[in-house]
Chain A
Amino acid sequence: EPEVTQTPSHQVTQMGQEVILRCVPISNHLYFYWYRQILGQKVEFLVSFYNNEISEKSEIFDDQFSVERPDGSNFTLKIRSTKLEDSAMYFCASMGQDPYEQYFGPGTRLTVT
Chain B
Amino acid sequence: ELKVEQNPLFLSMQEGKNYTIYCNYSTTSDRLYWYRQDPGKSLESLFVLLSNGAVKQEGRLMASLDTKARLSTLHITAAVHDLSATYFCAVDSSGAGSYQLTFGKGTKLSVIP
Find out whether the CB atom of B42 lies under 8 angstroms from the CB atom of A43.
no
Classify the secondary structure of A's interface with B.
strand
A103 to chain B, nearest CB (A): 7
Chain B residues with Cβ below 8 Å from A43 are: 43, 88, 90, 101, 103
For residue B70, CB closer than 8 A to chain A, the reply is no
> When A and B form their complex, what is the total count of cross-chain residue pairs whose Cβ atoms lie within 8 Å?
61
Residues of A in contact (CB 8 Å), total 23
B-side contacts of A35, CB under 8 Å = 101
Chain B positions 79 through 113: 1 when the CB is less than 8 Å from some CB of chain A, otherwise 0: 00000000010101110111111111110000000
Contact A101/B45 with A55-B96, A56-B94 known, Cβ cut-off 8 Å: yes
In whole angstroms, what is the CA distance A35 to B45 when docked?
15
Indicate if the CB atoms of A101 and B48 lie closer than 8 Å: yes
A42 and B45: CB pair below 8 A? no
Bound complex: CA A31 to CA B100 (Å): 10
Report yes or no: A102 in contact with B33, Cβ–Cβ below 8 A. yes
Asked if B31 is an interface residue, CB under 8 A from chain A, the answer is: yes
Binding site for A on B (CB under 8 A): 31, 33, 35, 41-45, 48, 50, 88, 90, 92-94, 96-106
